[in-house]
Structure 1
Amino acid sequence: MPLIQCNGADLYYEDHGEGQPIVFLHGATAGLRYFEPQLMGLSNEYRTIAVDFRGHGRSEKSELGHTLGQYTRDVQTVLEELDLDRIVLVGWSMGALISWEYIHQFGTDRLRAIVDIDMEPSPVKRGDYEYGTYGTEDLEGAIDAIQQDPIGLLDEEAEALLKDPPTRELRNLILDEGSRTPPPIQGALLFGLSFIRDYRELLRSVDIPALVCAGADEKWRSVASVKYAAELIPDARFELFEGSGHCITVEEPDRFNRVLSDFIESL
């Protein structure tokens, strides 16, 4: 099993194909399996790479380091270990936040472009911000549910994450990947949202091209809030996926692969 030692934790990763490197960053309590249609479907044209963050998927369930800042430093270690450059960095949900945090910490020297899959500039409600998925009460309720009934919460998420009722395959993916992240780690990540950076100003300063994708039937945040990210980035393209909720890469994998490939070929 391929592992990279990153700042005190062994991280599982997959690396397929050759050519232009695309690095996929998954969402919270998810894993790189959400990118299987991309890792294999695009590997004939590109080098496709994905990593399970610490505490997720097949990576080590370390006691420490469960912040966006540390996950970002882990990503930098992976890029260095694999000697990657001119990367297209694709972040889904929390993974998009980590791609922005990467630019905040390390700049864009290693990057050729970024892709935001269904994330707004700040998932936290703010006084001067008309969007935002979570308020204090929302975070408290989610942390309480994680501690009392984590499997029941995952089952609810299986319905909320997708546009259509989940197939058995997708339900199993959501439950299996979600249950690989221990509840204390899930709670730490949610608690960390209370202090998350507001990325509006950073997005205004992004100096590389971007693709922003939104699921039309997203149940957690509005299409307008995701589109707002594209409006902030100087050189951004927006794409709406009518057949998707939050999980575009597995709900419309063929179309997503075409859109991503077209974007890369336009760079």
Structure 2
Amino acid sequence: MAYFYTNDHTRLYYEDSQNKQGQPMIMIHGYGGNHAEFLNQQIAFEEQGFRVIVFDQRNHGASARTGKGARVSRLGADLADLIRELALDHVILVGHSMGAAVIWAYLSLYGAAQVARVVTIDQSPKALNTPDWPYGLLDDTWDNLSLTARNVEHVKMTVKHLPDNVYEAIRTVQADHPFNYEQNEPLLMNHLVQDWRDVIRTYRDVPQLFVAGGDSPLWSSDYAVTCQHITDDQAEVAIVPHTGHLPHVEDPESFNAILTTFVNA
């Protein structure tokens, strides 16, 4: 348990493995989430010898509340600050939901020199539905963007009951550090208008894994197969059946097996 300061002087909370010799793996939560959702991944991959790092993004979890940087590009810069703070290299980046967009923002801004592999979990690279991209969020279009953003908060994100240990860990962080949806709506709006398909294509030589929930309430898992085609079929795809938007939390056994195979390939 520790804190670091970003280059715009915002204090962010993070947890780092005791084993500093393992390959670093940074796990990044999504909008409204916190680091505790990766508890069962922390346990499993630290046991495998990885240096697992989780953190709370600005305005989330135990990190500082600030009016600065309510945009995905700033969150990508925060990730760069963490990598720099810990002097990491050959990093495996694992991002859930908006955390995936943070990875794409990082790659867009800083390149992949320090990145070994990328894993994104249930996140379409384009949330707006358009004629060339029918895999966006719900019925989200330019015409109803504000309404969709407000409605996302009320969507039931899971299909399965969460494991007791993760459920309690998430609720504890939420109770101690409530997330303010109204104040953070500008960040969500910024997230929903991005299009990261060019980044996926640009960095197709970086091993990428797209993991989708088979019954995600936000979008069809078909987005993941389409992303694979964007990489000229160099990326890998895994659909976790009977899970919603949080497959890594809902079915950690299946997700951890998929991630283990990918990171050890």
Query: What TM-score, normalized by structure 1, do the two folds share?
Result: 0.87
- 1:167 shift after superposition: 7.3
Alignment partner, residue 181 of structure 1: 179
Change (3 A) 1:165 1:194: closer
Q: Report SS of the residue matched to 1:38.
A: helix
Q: Secondary structure at the match of 2:244?
A: coil
Shift in Å, 1:90: 0.6
Which residue number in structure 1 is paired with residue 209 of structure 2?
A: 211
Cα distance change on mapping 1:245 and 1:32 into 2, 3 Å: same
Per-residue deviation at 1:46? Answer: 0.5
For 1:8-53, what per-residue CA distance to the aligned partner results, in whole angstroms no more than 9, with x for missing partners? 2100001113411111111101011111111122102211011110
- Tell me which residue corresponds to 2:258: 259
Structure 1 residue 237 and structure 2 residue 240: aligned? no
Query: Are 1:14 and 2:15 matched, yes or no?
Result: yes
Report the counterpart of residue 150 of structure 1 in structure 2.
Answer: none
SS of 2:43's equivalent in the other structure is helix
Q: Which moved more, 1:207-216 or 1:123-132?
A: 123-132
Counterpart position of 2:46: 43
- The equivalent of 2:159 in structure 1 is 163
Matched-pair contact (CA < 8 Å) for 2:73–2:105 = yes
**Partners of 2:209 and 2:238 within 8 A in 1:** yes
Task: Quote the Cα distance in structure 1 between the aligned partners of 2:158 and 2:197.
Answer: 27
TM-score (normalised: structure 2): 0.87
| Aligned-residue RMSD, C-alpha | 2.3
Question: 1:250 deviation in Å?
Answer: 0.9
Gaps of 5+ in 2: none
Higher helix share: 1
Q: Aligned match of 1:135 in 127, 133, 141?
A: 141
Look up the SS of the partner of 2:184 in the other structure.
Answer: helix
- For 1:92 and 1:99, the matched residues in 2 are separated by 10
1:2 has 2:5 as partner: no
Q: CA deviation at 1:141?
A: 2.1
Corresponding residue SS for 1:185: coil
In 2: Cα distance, 1:50 partner to 1:169 partner: 17
| 2:78 is aligned with 1:74 | yes
Give aligned-pair identity as a percent.
26
- 1:33 corresponds to 2:33: no
